[in-house]
Amino acid sequence: MRHFHLIAVLAAATALLPAAEPVSYFEDVRPVLQVHCSGCHQPANKMSNLDITEYAGIVRGGAKHGNSVIQGAPENSPLVSLVTGKMEPRMPMGGAALPAEAIELLTRWIREGAEDDTPAEAKAPQAPSEPPQYRQAPTITGLAYSPDGSLLAVGGFQEILLHKSDGSGIEARLLGRSDKIHSLDFSTDGKRLVAVGGTPARFGELQVWNLDSGKQERSVTATSDTLFAGDLSPDGTRAVFGAADKSVRVVEVASGEELFKAGHHEDWVLQAVFGIDGKRIVSVSRDRAAKLADAGTGAFLENVNFLRDKLYAVARHPRRDYVIVGGEDRVPYLYTMDRPRALKIADDSTLIRKFEEQDGTIFALAFSPDGSRVAVGGVSATVNVYDTESGDRVATCKGHDGGIFVIAFHPDGGQLATGGFDGVVRVYEAESGNEVKAFVPVPVESAESAADSKRAG
């Protein structure tokens, strides 16, 4: 009898609830999903491509059933069918069924319209509507010249600034939601700009910009941390990038669809590039490895090499399948992606040339458009330019006040632009190392920073 009594009380309580208050997604539903489901359905581990940690992800649903919630119709919602076991496999997969009250809560929330009452401050941020105001110049981690050489794109804070490449002014400010941009790539026709970045400890994002309209065509978020430097395939259809979750990912630019996620590294993957025909990828990581993978499937092909220290940068030769890598051991290494003979892994048969040791960790590498020069920068605050063939140093570019994080050659090969910790863009002549121009790429408000930019310019 006691038992019966308990059931009766529960039933009565349940019956009373609807009259009392509608179910809240944020207060009631989200915590249930967080506890029982998010282990397998979150940005870093999206089983069946379902992210259950955000309202939009729940509605969007997974790979198999599509929308997991049909507003007003719990009986047609896969989310409910899967937790009740009406549909197989019952969720949580392999675990105990949800308590009846939790199932009732989900059911009722959907019947009541499955509304999203997430408070604005708890949502993933939207792009700002006004350009940010700067007290000081932000660290520069993204730089790219447009293919015709007329523009220099610079990653700012929550925006990309399109400068006239002679440094004479800003053409456009592209506002996006990522705090940081870690790489920028123009499509070869100059119509699109692809940016990879994110907001540390929040989300990673790939942005696709249409430069005719000045509008963002696509924002693809991935992982719960920023994404690291990437590359656009030679035909502009795919983008590759590394991530803090140790993955290398390839995304189709037109659809934003993630084509694959490869997990061959054991630590953050800081940069990835396509081979010359877009069929292979080389990635470098803090795990000290440079790895070669199939760009179609993500399948691991081989280790280009394992080095003594963490690797931070990789650049591909513009005309052949050579890559230069660098990092903590300060030496730039030039490798071929095609191992000449079938030898043991971790041998040096892919090494073409070592360049001279730098005065600090290497963060940035870039080839000139014809591949005859390669530029190396990093903690030393100088950029050294080398002859790729001979390994001889051609020029040294000085003037930065702090580490250099990015280098870009102008398409005519005569100049290169650099950026880094001090927030100043400097343009040098590649053959002499002479500085041509220096400018702070963002409008800065305060007096000290004005002095800074004067010193810089």
Minimum CB separation of residue 85 from ligand HEC in Å reads 11
Q: Give the H or E element holding residue 180.
A: strand 180-186
* CB-based contact 374:386 (threshold 8 Å): yes
Q: Does 86 bind ligand HEC (CB under 6 A)?
A: no
Rounded to 5°, angle at Cα 176 from 173 and 177: 150
Are residues 173 and 153 in contact, defined by beta-carbon separation less than 8 angstroms?
no
In this chain, which stretch among 35-43, 132-140, 286-294, 410-418 interacts with ligand HEC, using CB under 6 A?
35-43
The helix/strand/coil state of 272 is: strand
Q: Does 420 bind ligand HEC (CB under 6 A)?
A: no
Q: Does 36 bind ligand HEC (CB under 6 A)?
A: yes
> Under 8 Å CB-to-CB from 435, ≥6 apart: which residues?
397, 398, 399, 426, 427, 428
Q: Which is nearer to ligand HEC, 89 or 169 (CB)?
A: 89
Looking only at the bridges linking them, the beta strands covering 300-306 and 238-243 are: unpaired
Q: Using CB under 6 A, which of the segments 64-72, 124-132, 156-164, 299-307 binds ligand HEC?
A: 64-72
Q: What is the rounded CA–CA span in Å between residue 96 and residue 24?
A: 24
Q: How many CB atoms lie within 10 A of CB 255?
A: 11
With contacts defined by CB under 6 A, name the span among 58-66, 112-120, 229-237, 338-346 that binds ligand HEC: 58-66
Per the document, the length of the chain is: 457
**Residue 64 within binding range of ligand HEC, rule CB under 6 A:** yes
**DSSP of 56-76, one letter per residue?**
HHHHH-BTTTB-S--TT-GGG
For ligand HEC, the closer CB: 39 or 85: 39
Decide if residue 40 touches ligand HEC (CB under 6 A).
Answer: yes
Q: Which is nearer to ligand HEC, 95 or 214 (CB)?
A: 95
65 makes contact with ligand HEC (CB under 6 A): yes
Q: Is position 240 an interface residue for ligand HEC (rule: CB under 6 A)?
A: no
Tell me which of 94, 119, 169, 340 binds ligand HEC, using CB under 6 A: 94
Distance CA 154, CA 161 (A): 5
Q: According to CB under 6 A, which one of 70, 79, 208, 376 is a site residue for ligand HEC?
A: 79
Of 92 and 377, which CB lies nearer to ligand HEC in the complex structure?
92
Q: Does 93 bind ligand HEC (CB under 6 A)?
A: yes
- Where do contacts with ligand HEC occur on this chain (CB under 6 A)? 33, 36-37, 39-41, 47-48, 50, 61-65, 68, 78-79, 82-83, 89, 91-95, 98
